[in-house]
Chain A
Amino acid sequence: MRILVPAAVLGLSLLSVAGLSAPVAIALPDDPTEFVDVPGGPAAEAINNNCRACHSASMVLTQPRLTRSEWTAEVVKMRHVYKAPVDPADDAAIIDWLMAMSEGRGPAPAG
């Protein structure tokens, strides 16, 4: 770590005045991605209703193939840790969809 010399401080404070005088705002891109029905398999309605409030669908769609117990643990974690208002009556439909979606993604996990 180095202590800044006065010239550097001057440069940075000019920068800071320029950079910090006005409110700073950005516009983030939308993410319309929805979960879709698995062809010939479970419908996406339950997962669309329960799993898109806090994060994009890609949080789920980028996951590797997981076992039923791992997917179940994820749904339980969302409800217990992150307080996702997931109706336990929807768990089976959500987990069936997750299993069907992630099947065929390479070798079955070891666990």
Chain B
Amino acid sequence: MLSRRHLLAAVAALPGARALAQDTVDLGLPGGPSKRRLTDDFPGKRGMILQRNTPALLETPLTAFNDGIITPNDRFFVRWHWPFPTEIDPARFRLRVDGHVARPLDLTLAALKRLPPVEITAINQCSGNSRGLFAPRIAGAQWAHGAMGNARWTGVRLRDVLDRAGVRAGAVQVRFSGLDAPVMDDAPDFQKSLAVDHARDGEVMIAWAMNGEPLPILNGFPLRLVVPGWFSTYWVKMLDRIEVLDKPDDNYWMAKAYLVPDTPDGGIPPGTKDFPKRPISTMVPRAFITSIAEGARLPVAPTPVGGIAMGGDSGVARVEVSGDGGTTWAAAKLGPDAGKYSFRRFDAVIAPARGPTTLMARCTNSAGTVQPMTGIWNPGGYLRGQVETTNVTFV
């Protein structure tokens, strides 16, 4: 992605291109429009990048990830497709479990909480995170890197709930939907499905707390699905219906949307027509430098470079950092391991030469997958995973 790197360098070279006004950020999206307002206007959220007011799309600034591997609830990104209720009475809320089951259930929150509680730290990342950085550009939410967050989720195993309902022989998928609803009655309600075996793997959970607090309404109060290692599209918010299916789900959001090319890396040359597709699923390794901003001017001296990495669907095994545009690499020190689905902090020190250069961080996950230097492309703008760049000048 040499051309993109040059473009970003050109953007960064414009005086004032990064911080236009106190409440505006420039996301560096090639070709623009790239400026966004920072907002504190959404209840329980602060300093969020305003992508869209209604339904809310709020992005976390990359600098927020420098503060720790857990993303605080008030900085956690927000993403909805359709309008959602802004008032919920937990006493009246019911989670319906039905379809191909022996005993349909209408669970109160109190009944759900009588099941054995479990906890996991896991990254929730939008399928289209970083879509605004693809070249050629793609229509959709124009995110930079902040449509992701890492939280400690508390709830119950989906398996325990399904076992209470008794999944019948012949079940193939489990479908999830929430309280959000289309504006037009005949438009497709947002629904997502997982294979029965995945739904029953003991890891997928129904969470009611995030970082020790009830889920914010904007993040899916009172319940959301947590699908560790899988993209956020499956983490259905305001979850109120679980339906066991005896045939594959053909609803729009499974059969037509959130599909990626059925190639090993999910990429395809721009402009390719008629290719096999599959529903998006697991995440890929990524690393982000969060301690130094794009366009920074720094003194020539040993310089700490730190950030966060994720393994995707397995842990972070190694992060390397380059201070010379990828010519040489040095191993970074990894921070505490909060589990294979969590962000992991990395820190290194580079000895820079005078002049402009490109900083990079490269993650290898515990399955041995290394971030590639060049990116893939696909018509959804999904699965970005190449080594990212931070252009700086040492003076």
**Chain A interface residues toward B at CB < 8 A:** 1-4, 8-9, 12-13, 15-16, 19-31, 33, 53-56, 58-59, 61-66, 70, 74, 81-85, 105-107, 109-111
Q: Does B56 sit within 8 A of A, measured CB to CB?
A: yes
Complex-state Cα separation, A66 to B140, whole angstroms: 11
| Pairwise interchain contact A82-B187, C-beta atoms closer than 8 A | yes
Residues of B within 8 A of A15 (CB): 209, 212-214
When the two chains form the complex, which single residue of A27, A54, A64 contacts B29, counting CB atoms closer than 8 Å?
A64
Complex-state Cα separation, A82 to B118, whole angstroms: 38
Q: Which of B83-91, B292-300, B325-333 contacts A (4 or more CB under 8 A)?
A: B83-91
Query: How many A-B contacts if CB must be within 8 Å?
Result: 154
Known: A31-B53, A81-B187. A24 touches B87 (CB 8 A): yes
Complex-state Cα separation, A97 to B183, whole angstroms: 24
Complex-state Cα separation, A109 to B219, whole angstroms: 34
Chain B, residue nearest A2 (CB): B119
**Chain B interface residues toward A at CB < 8 A:** 29-33, 36, 39, 41-44, 50-56, 82, 86-91, 109, 113, 116-120, 132, 136-139, 141-142, 154, 182-188, 202-203, 205, 208-209, 212-214, 217-218, 221-222, 228, 252, 256, 270-271, 339
Given contacts A55-B52, A62-B33, 10 further A-B contacts (CB under 8 A): A4-B118, A23-B89, A24-B217, A27-B86, A31-B53, A56-B54, A62-B141, A81-B256, A82-B188, A84-B184
| Pairwise interchain contact A19-B118, C-beta atoms closer than 8 A | no
| Pairwise interchain contact B32-A105, C-beta atoms closer than 8 A | yes
| Pairwise interchain contact B187-A12, C-beta atoms closer than 8 A | no
Residues of A within 8 A of B186 (CB): 83
When the two chains form the complex, which single residue of A16, A28, A31 contacts B86, counting CB atoms closer than 8 Å?
A28
15 pairs of residues in contact across A and B, judged by CB atoms under 8 Å: A1-B203, A1-B228, A4-B118, A19-B213, A22-B90, A23-B87, A24-B214, A25-B87, A26-B217, A62-B142, A63-B139, A64-B137, A64-B138, A110-B270, A111-B270
| Pairwise interchain contact A82-B209, C-beta atoms closer than 8 A | no
Complex-state Cα separation, A50 to B17, whole angstroms: 34
| Pairwise interchain contact B30-A29, C-beta atoms closer than 8 A | no
Known: A4-B117, A20-B222, A58-B53. A53 touches B188 (CB 8 A): no
Residues of A within 8 A of B139 (CB): 63-64, 66, 70, 74
Complex-state Cα separation, A15 to B214, whole angstroms: 8
| Pairwise interchain contact A29-B42, C-beta atoms closer than 8 A | yes
When the two chains form the complex, which single residue of B55, B87, B142, B154 contacts A4, counting CB atoms closer than 8 Å?
B154
> Closest CB of chain A to B244's CB: distance in Å?
23
| Pairwise interchain contact A64-B222, C-beta atoms closer than 8 A | no
| Pairwise interchain contact B142-A63, C-beta atoms closer than 8 A | yes
Complex-state Cα separation, A82 to B136, whole angstroms: 25
Complex-state Cα separation, A65 to B30, whole angstroms: 10
Complex-state Cα separation, A65 to B184, whole angstroms: 28
> Closest CB of chain A to B52's CB: distance in Å?
5
Residues of B within 8 A of A21 (CB): 90-91
| Pairwise interchain contact A2-B89, C-beta atoms closer than 8 A | no
Residues of A within 8 A of B137 (CB): 64-66, 109
Residues of B within 8 A of A56 (CB): 52-54
Residues of B within 8 A of A64 (CB): 29, 31-33, 132, 137-139, 142
| Pairwise interchain contact A62-B52, C-beta atoms closer than 8 A | yes
Complex-state Cα separation, A103 to B310, whole angstroms: 38
Complex-state Cα separation, A3 to B116, whole angstroms: 8
| Pairwise interchain contact B117-A9, C-beta atoms closer than 8 A | yes
Complex-state Cα separation, A95 to B271, whole angstroms: 22
> Closest CB of chain B to A48's CB: distance in Å?
15
Complex-state Cα separation, A19 to B113, whole angstroms: 13
| Pairwise interchain contact A24-B209, C-beta atoms closer than 8 A | no
Residues of B within 8 A of A29 (CB): 39, 41-42, 53
- 5 tightest A-B contacts by CB? A106-B31, A31-B53, A64-B137, A19-B214, A83-B184
